[in-house]
Each structure stands twice: as C-alpha cells, then as structure tokens.
Structure 1
Amino acid sequence: MAPDKSDRSDRSTKSERFAGLPEARRRGLERMEQVYGFEMTDGTGDFFRYTVEHLFGDIWQRPGLTDRDRRLFLIGLLVGQRANDVLGIQIPAAYANDELDADALRELVILACHYDGWPNGSRMSAVVEDTIAKAKRAAADREESTRDEGAPDPSKS
C-alpha cells in the first residue's frame, strides 16, 4: 500500500494567483489544487461557487478523514454510479498524490469486480491501467530529459 502522505489539509499553498479573492474562494481553490494535483482557475456561476467554497473550502477541510480516506470512499461511490468520467479524474489524482499506488488501485479493481460486476470493474481497470501507463511514460520522459541536460553538447566538441 502507498505511504499515507494524503492528509495534506493542514498545508496551504497560499497561491499568489488567488490573492485578492474572498477567503472562502481562495481556500477552496487552493484545496482543489491539493486534491486534484493540477492548477485550478477561478470560474463563474453558482455550481462552481458551491463546489469551490463549500465542497473544497469546507467539506474537504474537515478533520476526521485523511485525503486518502475521502478518495477511497469517493472512488467506491463513483464505481457504483458508473461515473467513469469522474473516475478518470479521481484515480489519476490519487495516484499522483501518493494516496494509492499501482498495487492498491489494482486491488480496488478486483474488489469492484466482485461487488459491482465484471463489466464495471473492467471499465475501472481501464482507467487504472491508463493512469499507471501515463505515469510511467511521464517518469521515463523526465528521466530522459534529465539525462539529456547532463550530457555534453556534441556541437561543442
């Protein structure tokens, strides 16, 4: 199982991009960035406001559950609802944030197959394997880039 680095609710990114926004909005957007692992931009409308200010500004800030706990529960709900589009956000975020490693994600697939049926578990498996493959490719690209940066420039020989 992945090391539990997931209780990040006490860390604040204090993003300069959100300076000047109302406190609830800033807090929610910063939390969304922590949870999803990518940069957020502010949006408009009531749906976005409730998502940012209430769901991420309040609910994802509450004590009692780690981010990993919340993510496991959420993934289970999404599998049961066949919400594969949202699984395509949550599973990569859990993997990138070290909340769930490849072995844990694959175990969840096996569990999902038995409790929610093979077709749905198979769809989840596709999301999991795609997530792992993309992460491996990104790591290989980073490694190659790092190697290239340290290599002597052949044009200067």
Structure 2
Amino acid sequence: MGKFDDLPETRRRGLERMEQVYGFDMTDGTGDFFRYTADHLFADIWERPGLSDRDRRLLLIGLLSGSGGADVLGIQVPAALAAGELDAEELREIVIFLSHYAGWPNGARINSIVENAVAQASRPPK
C-alpha cells in the first residue's frame, strides 16, 4: 500500500507526480492554493500528452528566469539534474543563453543556482 492510497484519486496522482517532478517527498496540504497545485497542476497539466517532462522543465526554467523566479528555480534546476532531464553542461549552456534574454543580473542568479545544484549533485552521499 502506498503512502497516498487513503486520499482521493486526483490528490494521490497529484502528490505522486509532485514527488516525481520535484524529486523529494511530499505530504498532503490544505487550502485552495494547495488543492489547485496538486489536483489541477500536477494531476492534470503535468500529465497531459504532447510535451515531455524535459520540455516542460525547459519551458519552466525559461519562464522563471525571465520573471525572476529564483526561489522556484532553486527547486526546478536540481530536480532536472537529478531526474537526468538536463545535465551540468546543458544547464550551463542554458545560463549563457538565458542571460542574454533575461538580463545579466537574472543570469547571475541562474548561474549560482545551477552551480550550486551541480556541486551538490557531485558530492558523494553521506
């Protein structure tokens, strides 16, 4: 039996997908914002055919870079690296490319996030 089996089907699928996308354990939450996030965004939108997870991740990284979403980039970049959707070389290339469109200060923030994620991923597990 899975840890989300006692939840409604949509919530279970959403939480499982959130764990897959983010790369860390999730717990059920409360309130409308969490409901829309788990039940709609992850159980529905992230499950739609037509785009791969890598495609979605690239789009999201670009959008977050342009809008100054460093907090969410701090989740998405390490998750993309851990999932094997993007490697260190590709992430570094994304930084160079996006810096020219999102602005150098945003690029510097993205670069810090990427380099921290790469360093963290290359450390041996404790």
TM-score (normalizing by structure 1)? 0.78
Identity of aligned residues (%): 67
The answer for the alignment partner of 1:129 in structure 2 is 115
Q: 2: distance between equivalents of 1:129 and 1:103? A: 11
Aligned residue number for residue 91 of structure 1: 77
CA RMSD, 1 decimal: 1.0
Structure exhibiting the larger radius of gyration computed from Cα positions? 1
After superposition, residues 65-80 of structure 1 pair within 5 angstroms as: 65-80=51-66
- Residue of structure 2 equivalent to 1:37: 23
| Residue 141 (structure 1) aligned with residue 125 (structure 2) | yes
Task: Provide the C-alpha distance between the structure 2 equivalents of 1:36 and 1:131, rounded to a whole number of angstroms.
Answer: 13
Partner of 1:116: 102
| Other structure's SS at 1:141 match | coil
Q: TM-score, normalised by structure 2?
A: 0.97
Residue 141 of structure 1 and its aligned partner are, at CA, apart by 3.4
Offset at residue 133 of structure 1 (A): 0.5
Q: Secondary structure at the match of 1:112?
A: helix
1:117 Cα deviation after fit: 1.5
Gaps (5+ residues) in structure 1?
1-14, 143-157
Instruction: Give how far 1:20 is off.
Output: 1.4
Q: Which residue of 2 aligns with 1:16?
A: 2
Q: How many residues align?
A: 126
Matched AA of 1:89 = I
Which structure is richer in relative contact order (CA contacts within 8 A, separation 6 or more)?
1
